[in-house]
Amino acid sequence: MEGGLIIRETTLDDAPEVLRHRRFMFRDMGYRDEAALDATQATSEPYIMARMKDGTYRGWLAQTADGRVAGGGGVLLYPWVSNPSDPNPMRAYLLNVYVYQEFRRQGLARRLMQVMVDWCRAQGFTTVWLHASDEGRALYESMGFAATSEMKLTL
């Protein structure tokens, strides 16, 4: 148990914690509209639950020896058209990476990210994707993540 924390895979019983992390992640990124956060959490729940059940959402939680959750993260697998640089017809997307305030700046987010990247590598993925918050960008870049040419149009 390195650093007094263990990292374990999530179970369906952990879904409420995963959803809290998703909510708190958005809140920490500057979303302050509680009604919008409530809606996001409510509409994410059936999706996350279904993906946890069918195995296309894999999550990990870091816990203290007494069982308190310190943080977590997940990998969402979804169909994606292959391309010359990545022939896999599935995409591995890292999301819901969140560490509670009292556990930050201790390397926990890096440990969680490494567990998820290692899992993706073991599953045969050659590329993993994520959306970087301003706070997380330096960590992801230090792990080798690079910005892509993707663009979006908000309608």
Rounded Cα gap, residues 138 and 78, in angstroms: 26
Q: Any idea which residue has 């993540």 for tokens?
A: 145
Please give the model's pTM, rounded to 2 decimal places: 0.93
Q: How many CB atoms lie within 10 A of CB 107?
A: 15
Q: Are 91 and 77 in contact (CB under 8 A)?
A: yes
User: For 53-94, how does the pLDDT look when each residue is reduced to its tens digit (9 = 90+)?
Assistant: 999 999 999 999 999 999 999 999 999 999 998 889 999 999
Residue 86 phi/psi, 5-degree rounding, is: -150, 95
Rounded Cα gap, residues 93 and 30, in angstroms: 22
Following DSSP, what letter does each residue of 84-96 receive, concatenated? TTB--SEEEEEEE
User: For 120-149, how does the pLDDT look when each residue is reduced to its tens digit (9 = 90+)?
Assistant: 999 999 999 999 999 999 999 999 999 998
Q: Domains of the chain, with CATH numbers?
A: 2-142 (3.40.630.30)
Name which of 2-6, 21-25, 26-30, 46-50 the model is least confident about: 2-6
The answer to whether residue 1 scores a pLDDT higher than 50 is no
